[in-house]
Every structure is written in structure tokens, then in C-alpha cells.
């Protein structure tokens, strides 16, 4: 199946700093990418939908100025958590939909963010 790679898998940052998470589709073109966050023992919560070359669409309650999403190419989307605080500590997961496989979503392995 198609592969989606996330980097880094784990990151620890200081409160007030920014962190960038990359999501790459390795063997397909991803016209749409999705970003989720997941707190312990909870399900994945959709944060935003990112389309290549256009602005991301954020879900209600997600601050667009805090969670900056860039989808500059058909194989790369980035999520930047700006001015991170301890409450932003979470598991962030990206997902990509291929133009050619419209019925399936492929997920990255996730990024564990810890803000200290």
C-alpha cells in the first residue's frame, strides 16, 4: 500500500517555541492531506484539511494562527505548532488521500509532541 511518512516521530520542545512536523507521501501524489491530534485514551480529532496549493480548512475550535499548515507540493504538508504550551502536548497524525485512490486514506506513524 501507499506510504505516508511523518517526521519527527518524537519531539520535546520548550514552552513558547515553535515546532514543525512534516508529512510526506512517499510513492503517490496526495492532493489532500489531513491533520489529526489525539490525546491519551481518546480517538483521533480532525484538526484541518490541507489541499495542495491552497489554504487549509480548519475544523471548528482549531486556531489557525496557532497551527499553521502548509501544503506546498503534492507530496509534502507541514504542521507548525507556534508558541507551544504544555496543553499542546499530544500525538499528531497526518493522513493523505491519493488522487488515484479516492476510497482510501493513508496514515503517517504519528508525532509525539511534548512541551515542557
- 102 to 44, 77, 106: CA distances (angstroms): 21, 18, 11
E-assigned strand segments in the chain: 4-7, 10-13, 19-25, 30-38, 45-51, 57-58, 67-73, 76-81, 90-98, 105-107, 111-115
Among residues 6, 75, 77, 90, which is the contact residue for another protein, using CB under 8 A? 6
Q: Quick check: 106 binds another protein (CB under 8 A)?
A: yes
Q: Quick check: 49 binds another protein (CB under 8 A)?
A: yes
Among residues 95, 98, 113, 115, which is the contact residue for another protein, using CB under 8 A? 95
Which stretches of the chain bind another protein, using CB under 8 A? 1, 4, 6, 32, 34, 36, 43-46, 49, 91, 93, 95, 97, 102-110, 112
Amino acid at each position: 500500500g501507499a506510504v505516508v511518512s511523518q517526521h519527527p516521530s518524537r519531539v520535546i520542545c520548550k514552552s513558547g517555541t515553535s515546532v514543525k512536523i512534516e508529512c510526506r507521501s512517499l510513492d503517490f501524489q496526495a492532493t489532500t492531506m489531513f491533520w489529526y491530534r489525539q490525546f491519551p485514551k481518546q480517538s483521533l480529532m480532525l484538526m484541518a484539511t490541507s489541499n495542495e496549493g491552497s489554504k487549509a480548512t480548519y475544523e471548528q475550535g482549531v486556531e489557525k494562527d496557532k497551527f499553521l499548515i502548509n501544503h506546498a507540493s503534492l507530496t509534502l504538508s507541514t504542521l507548525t505548532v507556534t508558541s507551544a504550551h504544555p496543553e499542546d502536548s499530544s500525538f499528531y497524525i497526518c493522513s493523505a488521500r491519493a488522487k488515484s485512490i479516492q476510497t482510501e486514506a493513508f496514515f503517517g506513524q504519528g508525532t509525539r509532541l511534548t512541551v515542557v
